[in-house]
Amino acid sequence: MIANRRELLKGGAMVASLMLAAGVLGPAAHAAGAAAGKGAFDAKSLADLVKALGYGTPAESKDVSITAPDIAENGAVVPLGVATTLGNVKQVMLLVEKNPSVLAALFNVSPEIDANFSTRVKMGQSSNVFAVAVTEDNKVFFAQKEVKVTLGGCGG
Amino acid sequence: MADPMRIRAQAAGDKTTVRVLMAHEMESGQRKDSAGKTIPAWHISEVSASLNGKVVMTAEWGPSVSKNPFLQFTIKGAKAGDKVAVNWTDNKGDKRTDEATVS
């Protein structure tokens, strides 16, 4: 039974990646990307997310690094960076565990760019943040860091 | 439609660091207005960057990305004078493209 599910997810992922190649790399004719179409942005945890995208089980790795402040003074703008020294990385993602929308951003890596991105995200509360790298063979590696958010609501 | 993006692309050796600041409300869909109604989610959903016309990076964003999003990434093999274009599409179908030259 498990083998069947895996085949199903693998098949789904192949179709979706064809869609990705056809859709996202074109002039963006639609408003939802391929991962969004697979429900990636509705996933409530890293495990749900990799299942939705048809990837393997995530493994913590020292080859993925996450740059984040220990304490974020403004939860509306928290700078996050993800980088990896792994080879054959096709996708890199940033997740905020306690956000209503766990997947914050997903980056598709091409040979012309480094698998190294920075952006700023909103964090509703202190939470673990994950930087995830997915290799060409759908293996998932991640690093995590706890970021405390001081919203300053109760007078700091 | 929206305000222009600020793109800075600087070459250092064979790597070019591209920094983009986009102007967008990025409503997460979690806030409520004064009448108590939830403000609908309105955020950039896809971003792509191209070097001299060839797409080199695509990204999908959710509602967690901050307002007026900042993005930094590194292109290998670009040189001064190359054109970097960044394009975003939001979940309402609006889009915007801006271009900068690598310095």
- pLDDT at position B3: 84
- Position B1 in a domain: no
- Position B15 in a domain: yes
Can you give the CATH number for the domain in which B46 is found?
A: 2.60.40.10
**Domain count of chain A?**
1
Can you give the CATH number for the domain in which A69 is found?
A: 2.60.40.2470
Mean pLDDT taken over chain B? 93
* Inter-residue contact A73 to B36 (CB < 8 Å): no
φ, ψ of residue A146 in degrees (nearest 5) = -90, 130
Mean pLDDT confidence for B71-99: 95
Contact yes or no for A36 and B71 at CB 8 A: no
Over chain A (156 residues), the average pLDDT of each successive run of 10 is 65 56 40 83 92 93 95 93 93 94 95 94 94 95 94 42
Contact yes or no for B76 and A109 at CB 8 A: no
- Position A156 in a domain: no
Per the listing, tokens 């792509």 go with: B48
- pLDDT at position A27: 38
Q: Which residue of B has its CA nearest to A92?
A: B59
A32 — contact with chain B (CB < 8 Å)? yes
pTM of the model: 0.83
Q: Which helix (H) or strand (E) holds A9?
A: helix A2-23
Q: CA A17, CA A9: separation in Å to the nearest integer?
A: 12
**Domain count of chain B?**
1
- pLDDT at position A152: 47
- pLDDT at position A4: 73
Range of the domain at A15: 2-149
- pLDDT at position A26: 36
Question: Edge to edge, what strands does the sheet with A78-84 contain?
Answer: A64-67, A78-84, A113-121, B70-76, B15-21, B6-12
Instruction: With beta carbons under 8 A apart, name residues in chain A contacting B56.
Output: 110, 112-113
Range of the domain at B22: 6-29+38-101
- pLDDT at position A37: 85
Distances (CA, A) of B47 to A95, B13, B79: 17, 26, 22
- Position A141 in a domain: yes
SS3 string of A77-142?
CEEEEEEECCCCEEEEEEEECCCCCCEEEEEEECCCEEEEEEEEECCCCCEEEEEEEEECCCCEEE
Give the minimum alpha-carbon distance from B59 to chain A in angstroms, rounded to a whole number: 4
- pLDDT at position A153: 38
Contact yes or no for B59 and A106 at CB 8 A: yes
Site from A107, A109, A130 to mutate, B interface, most B CB atoms within 10 angstroms: A107
Read off the tokens for A74.
Answer: 């403004």
B10-45 pLDDT, tens digit each: 999 989 999 999 999 999 998 888 898 999 999 999
B62-83 pLDDT, tens digit each: 999 999 999 999 999 899 999 9
Report ipTM (2 d.p.). Answer: 0.93
Angle value at C-alpha B51, between B46 and B52, nearest 5 degrees = 125
